[in-house]
Structure 1
Amino acid sequence: MTADKTILIVGTYDTKDDELTYLAERIKAQGGGVMTMDVSVLGDPSQPCDISKHQVAEAGGSTIQAAIDSGDENVAMQIMAEGAATEALRLYREGAIHGVIVLGGTMGTDLALDVCAALPLGVPKYVVSTVSFSAMLPPERLAADIQMILWAGGLYGLNSVCKSSLSQAAGAVLGAARAVEPPKRDRPLIGMTSFGKTILHYMVKLKPELEKRGYEVAVFHATGMGGRAFESLAAEGAFACVMDFATQEVVNHHMGSGISAGADRVTNAGKQGIPQIVSSACYDLVDLIGWQPIPERLQGRPTHAHNRLLTSVILDTDERREIAGVLGGKLAEAKGPSIFVLPKGGGNEWDRPGAPLHDAEGLAAFNDAMQQAVPDTTDLRVMECHINDDAFSETVLEIFDEWVAQGVVPKGVA
């Protein structure tokens, strides 16, 4: 039977030969094809791989001997990671593979993140790891559509426990390769950040209006991983324009919260020269992991327990001024058209007058500081409204339509 889809299997065949071979057998048993890549350094596989460790090291601009001579396992694995990412992308572009699965512990996972980041959105990418979902995985290294499976009982050798994980992973990656509907890119894509409709409303008005104009709109949930996916695609140049209004992940990162989208949040669209309209939704809140104790320095403040996973704590006046400065610094990195829209009436439904998190003094302080922080390279639009008022969305549409008329943003497709 001819295989319909081919999956690239990546791993250290000198230490995980049996496990990787089992994974390949499970994919083949379902009618899939397999291509193997060895990223070992010291040892060798029991059988030759399609892409040898020597080829991988050379694709990383080095050699296996150089990796060995370094005497440093971290240096050696980074050589292999660069080569594996380069080779995986080459194979995909040549049509030789339709998905990738990487197996490993911390070493293999470190490499796996580079491999997955190198492949575009829509290419199934699975990581079977003993540290899947761990806090040690930095959000800025996660590809927008990476999939992870916890490799239970998989540290050393095959057993019925780890076979359960591996067999599911085999079915998942092959099934994804068969079922995936890659992004069509037949209409210009607008990237937007937001939260749920209970706290932010603008996407309800903006999305259908933009779609009427011939654009596709992707709204990203800015609770750490959503912002990470947004930044990953922005870095690829995937967007024709961004409406990055829910910039609160900047606050999380600045305040040391575990709910972070990475240090580069609110920078990648600007660095790519993508036209950006930015605002300050939820600038006054730091989101914390709800099942962990609130840090001592934040205790005693007004809070909102969104659910058992997430709790929001209000910032004090000085912290709001700090955030204004941080946002201003990120705006200064923009190389393309950049507009900051400041709704002076507030940035989320909980901070309206009479709402539980309203702080008139803190809001005024932020508004003053933000107006000072916006760099000369970014156009500042100050509005006497709340971010959830129709006036905010209408102004955003006016700016967008002006950019389309000027050719700054490509015209939509009817």
Structure 2
Amino acid sequence: MTDAAPDRTILVVGTYDTKNDELDYIAGVLRGQGGGVLTMDVSVLGDPARPCDVSKHDVAEAGGSSIGAAIATGDENAAMQIMAAGASALATRLHTEGRIDGVIVLGGTMGTDLALDVCAALPLGVPKYVVSTVSFSPLIPAERLAADIQMILWAGGLYGLNSVCKASLSQAAGAVLGAARAVERPDRDRPLIGMTSFGKTVLRYMVALKPALEARGFEVAVFHATGMGGRAFESLAAEGAFACVMDFAPQEVGNHLMGSTISAGADRMTNAGRVGVPQMVAPGCYDLVDFVGWQDAPARLAAQEVHAHNRLLSSVLLDAGQRRELARTLCDKLSGARGETVFFLPLRGGNEWDREGGPLHDADGLAAFIAELRDACPSNVTLRELDAHINDAAFTDAVLEKFDDWVASGIVRSEV
């Protein structure tokens, strides 16, 4: 153990009335590695063995209530939601004040529910570690996960310390402290463009757009639209982190609509518009719905042909009626946008496989989607039709032309 002042401080969160020994063990590992510790108690009924830096009373008050009121609800779920709101608010405040460099939260299902809120409240780049009895479980929906959350199974740790659970606890403590020391947080020295896509086998626009945008002085982050990628994209959009979004792969909207668990949540394609970020949209891979390859297809798609992309992911090609439904959904989501919005509609297709002559070409399905989009496009959205395929140079040229117009007119900020 070193006597030097700690270089990083980790917030340790949990119910100290029932998990005091485990939380103390985590704190001991952190201190043994030269880290600092700040403790937060989110208990409701009991008290910790010794006072915490942030008491349960502090937490309940930050949640707009009190411990007495939480107990008076007579409902464990309602009480813990009070504590989750307070813990999230206080964690955010402690980070803003520079008092913590990362967070580790310990819990079963109740503690994990709270932990997800705490981690979601902290910005990208703040190390977040959850030690949970339900890590990696289907109990946890994608939309509850912070973009850079880390989890480890709390194996053998339901009640009391033992050599099995110490292996998990010590790894978690070392991981969050190491991450706090090593992390290179976004410096935002250039305006950031958020773009969605898939691999360049199917969508290729980012190959030309990324260097062209960087040459204009912008940073570009491309998000893989397979559920968690879209979740990260939406969380940053909600923060107003982007100067502009190029949401050219909205397939996660279709996934969610058709009942796939590969979802970025119900708020996909809404957050940029809600905060007024200018957005460019296109229908990359709109015609496909992905689902977990080792599970059955969603009920709505069970009768349709399935293509196994790999052992993790399978895809279904949408029929004309489903494409019309998706077009209406996309337009509905964009109708609430407060910033400038343009929908680029390539009339010759939305992924490399659906070109004329390609294995997924469906002229009738594409025509149905185009017709419905024309009819449903809201008045706040500019529909720009292109006699091109999404992977053609004409698409990227049109995007860059509009982007340059937006920069020149001040719609897209060119300075941080």
TM over 0.5: yes
Distance in 2 separating the partners of 1:66 and 1:155: 28
- Structure 1: 4+ residue segments shifted above 6 A: none
Kindly provide the amino acid, as one letter, of the partner of residue 379 in structure 2: D
Name the counterpart of 2:378: 375
Q: Give the drift of 1:153.
A: 1.3
Q: 2:222 aligns with which of 209, 215, 219?
A: 219
Kindly provide the amino acid, as one letter, of the partner of residue 3 in structure 1: P
TM-score by length of 1: 0.98
Note if contact 2:355-2:361 (Cα within 8 Å) is conserved in structure 1: yes
Name the counterpart of 1:364: 367
Note if contact 1:113-1:141 (Cα within 8 Å) is conserved in structure 2: yes
**Helix, strand or coil for the counterpart of 1:380?**
strand
| CA deviations over 1:337-388 (Å, ceiling 9, x no partner) | 0000001111111111222211111011111111111101100000111111
Q: Give the drift of 1:393.
A: 0.7
Q: Give the drift of 1:145.
A: 1.2
Residue 179 in 1 paired to residue 182 in 2? yes
Q: Give the drift of 1:89.
A: 1.0
- Going from structure 1 to structure 2, the CA distance change for 1:222 and 1:37 (only over 3 Å counts) comes to same
Q: Give the drift of 1:132.
A: 1.3
Residue 277 in 1 paired to residue 283 in 2? no
Name the counterpart of 1:263: 266
Kindly provide the amino acid, as one letter, of the partner of residue 90 in structure 1: R
Q: Give the drift of 1:411.
A: 1.9
1:12-411 correspondence runs (5 A): 12-295=15-298, 297-299=300-302, 301-411=304-414
**Residues 268-277 or 295-304, more deviating:** 295-304
Note if contact 2:258-2:301 (Cα within 8 Å) is conserved in structure 1: no
Q: Give the drift of 1:293.
A: 2.5
Distance in 1 separating the partners of 2:62 and 2:302: 51
Q: Give the drift of 1:298.
A: 2.6
- Going from structure 1 to structure 2, the CA distance change for 1:297 and 1:129 (only over 3 Å counts) comes to same
Q: Give the drift of 1:301.
A: 3.1
Note if contact 2:29-2:170 (Cα within 8 Å) is conserved in structure 1: yes
Note if contact 2:290-2:313 (Cα within 8 Å) is conserved in structure 1: yes
Q: Percent identity?
A: 72
List runs of 5+ in structure 2 lacking aligned partners. none
- Going from structure 1 to structure 2, the CA distance change for 1:296 and 1:178 (only over 3 Å counts) comes to closer
**Helix, strand or coil for the counterpart of 1:403?**
helix
TM-score by length of 2: 0.97
Distance in 1 separating the partners of 2:398 and 2:153: 46
Distance in 2 separating the partners of 1:217 and 1:412: 14
Note if contact 1:195-1:246 (Cα within 8 Å) is conserved in structure 2: yes
Distance in 1 separating the partners of 2:358 and 2:22: 56
**Helix, strand or coil for the counterpart of 1:121?**
coil
**Helix, strand or coil for the counterpart of 2:343?**
strand
Note if contact 1:303-1:357 (Cα within 8 Å) is conserved in structure 2: no
| Matched length | 413
Kindly provide the amino acid, as one letter, of the partner of residue 257 in structure 2: H
List runs of 5+ in structure 1 lacking aligned partners. none
**Helix, strand or coil for the counterpart of 1:399?**
helix
Q: Give the drift of 1:185.
A: 0.6
**Helix, strand or coil for the counterpart of 1:277?**
strand
**Helix, strand or coil for the counterpart of 1:411?**
coil
- Going from structure 1 to structure 2, the CA distance change for 1:277 and 1:295 (only over 3 Å counts) comes to closer
| CA deviations over 1:188-235 (Å, ceiling 9, x no partner) | 000000001111000000000000000000000000000000000000
| CA deviations over 1:298-336 (Å, ceiling 9, x no partner) | 345343321111111001110000000000100101001
Cα RMSD of the aligned pairs, angstroms, is 1.1
Note if contact 2:246-2:279 (Cα within 8 Å) is conserved in structure 1: yes
Distance in 1 separating the partners of 2:414 and 2:405: 11
Distance in 2 separating the partners of 1:303 and 1:360: 19
Q: Give the drift of 1:83.
A: 0.7
